[in-house]
Amino acid sequence: MTVAGESSRTTVTEAELDLQQLSRVVVGASVLGLYAAWMTADVAARWLTFPAVSLLAGYVLFGKARRHDQVVFVGYGLAVLVALTPVMMVLPDLLSAGSYGVGSLELVFLRWNLYLLVLFLIPAAVVAYATYRFDGGRGVLARVRDRKQ
């Protein structure tokens, strides 16, 4: 029951919904989802990859209370996706290797495919190192050990 002049709108407390955390989760999940959709465009449908990766990343990110942990998760996740990009770019050729008259191993170790691997591993290493430094030099294994304790 409301008194005249009062709004019947209920207020959301800070404990129920933190808009800053929600925006970090949405942005982080969208970045990972968009990159995954671009990376797998030749293998899987983008309309399927983007929501699947975004929802999974959003679920994990929402479980992390600290902003620092969210940024570290997105950084390492992006580094892994960038490192896997050459594999996903060569995968369609590998699946149809017999039709080219070339074996699978020959196709994988073409000079241009190796250049592609290096081209994506360097930025992946840079992103992983920047995330490592942002995390204070703890690294992934230290984070896993701390979580088990």
Q: How far is CA 44 from the centre of its chain?
A: 16
Q: Which domain holds residue 123?
A: 19-141
pTM of the complete model: 0.77
Helices and strands per DSSP (H, E), number in the chain: 6, 0
Q: Is residue 81 part of a domain?
A: yes
Structure confidence at residue 1 (pLDDT) = 46
pLDDT (tens digit, 9 = 90+) per residue, 46-96?
Answer: 899 999 999 999 999 998 878 889 999 999 999 999 999 998 988 887 777
Distance CA 61, CA 26 (A): 9
- Give the CA distances from residue 39 to residues 6, 44, 65, in Å, rounded to whole numbers and listed in that order: 52, 9, 29
User: Is there a domain that residue 85 lies in?
Assistant: yes
Residue 91 tokens read as 């995968």
Token pair listed for 59: 């679920």
> Per the domain annotation, does 88 fall within a domain?
yes
